[in-house]
Amino acid sequence: MTITVDAGVAHVLVAIPEKGQSLDIPGLDEAAAAIRADSSIRAILLTGGDGPNFCNGGDVKAFGAAENPGQYVRSIAEPFHRCVQALIETDIPVVAAVRGFAAGGGMSLSCAADIVVGGPSTTFLPAYPGIGYSTDGGLTWSLPRIVGRRRAAEILFTNRRIGSAEAFQLGLITQMAASDEDVVTKAQALAEQIARGSRSALGSIKRLLTESDARSLADQLAAETDAIERAADSADGREGVAAFLEKRKPNFEA
């Protein structure tokens, strides 16, 4: 099963070990639909499973075997893009546990996450230019927003590997685990911590962050005013203030 839900965290396996840890496009499409339908999900955790790599991108052997490569690539890009769009536009925080390589579509998928936990072996590689392909998975949208337009251009044009130390410096990794074995454990603990928070408040914050690029400062301030007014009147807002005043942990709505 590509997706399992436990304690409010949706665990999503992004790749197929039997196919060289390539993207599980049908599984990701199914997971995106399941996440939209399950109101109990409060955090999403993307992992590559038990293997050494997060995801090696598309199945290049399938590209080579396709009678009509363009048509075939479109047929997998469209469901992949539905998944990426769902991850970026959902109100639910997304954590990616990136161990080993995140290449091609795997790099695109990691850049769609809100938080990325990496380890010593974590390596990002655009990969697309190496086989004469342009990018997909929103990489030309997400990467410049993380590292800046010029840095993104340099990374994509040169198709170079980015190790964990540089990735952390650039913001491709937001938290580092001490060892590769600890990457998933650390990411899961982080997702569980997020899942215990106020879904309405964190969802509102994610929406504000996502929509900020398209707004002026004045419009963003107005959006924040509207959002915090709704939060103050919400059940979670009232519970959070009461818990603070009573010096206890808040019991936010499920």
Q: Cα separation of 233 and 129, whole Å?
A: 50
CA atoms within 13 A on the CB side of 16: 11
Decide whether 3-195 matches 199-245 in CATH topology.
Answer: no
Q: How far apart are the first and last CA of the chain?
A: 25
CATH superfamily name and code, 3-195: 2-enoyl-CoA Hydratase; Chain A, domain 1 (3.90.226.10)
**What single letter denotes the amino acid at residue 35?**
I
Q: Cα separation of 126 and 156, whole Å?
A: 6
Q: Is the pLDDT of residue 1 over 60?
A: no
What burial class does residue 216 get, using C-beta atoms within 10 Å of its C-beta: 0-12 exposed, 13-18 middle, 19+ buried? exposed
Helices of type H across the chain: 25-37, 60-65, 69-89, 105-111, 139-147, 149-158, 164-170, 183-195, 199-211, 217-233, 235-245
Closest to 174 (Cα-Cα) out of 150, 190, 161: 190
The confidence score (pLDDT) of residue 2 equals 83
Q: Enter the pTM of the model.
A: 0.94
Topology of domain 199-245 in CATH is: Lyase 2-enoyl-coa Hydratase; Chain  A, domain 2 (1.10.12)
pLDDT digits (tens, 9 = 90+) for 123-182: 999 999 999 999 999 999 999 999 999 999 999 999 999 999 999 999 999 999 999 999
104, 125, 144, 171, 216 from 157: Cα distances, Å: 13, 11, 13, 19, 31
Domain ranges in the chain are: 3-195, 199-245
Closest to 185 (Cα-Cα) out of 111, 102, 119: 119
**In this prediction, what percent of the chain has a pLDDT beyond 70?**
99
Q: Is the pLDDT of residue 13 over 70?
A: yes
The confidence score (pLDDT) of residue 64 equals 92
48, 91, 128, 211, 225 from 205: Cα distances, Å: 27, 8, 33, 10, 12
pLDDT digits (tens, 9 = 90+) for 175-232: 999 999 999 999 999 999 999 999 999 999 999 999 999 999 999 999 999 999 999 9
pLDDT digits (tens, 9 = 90+) for 51-94: 899 999 998 999 999 999 999 999 999 999 999 999 999 999 99
Which value, to the nearest 10 degrees, does the dihedral of the CA atoms of residues 209, 210, 212, 213 take?
130
Closest to 113 (Cα-Cα) out of 155, 84, 81: 84
Element (H, E) at 15: strand 15-16
What burial class does residue 246 get, using C-beta atoms within 10 Å of its C-beta: 0-12 exposed, 13-18 middle, 19+ buried? exposed
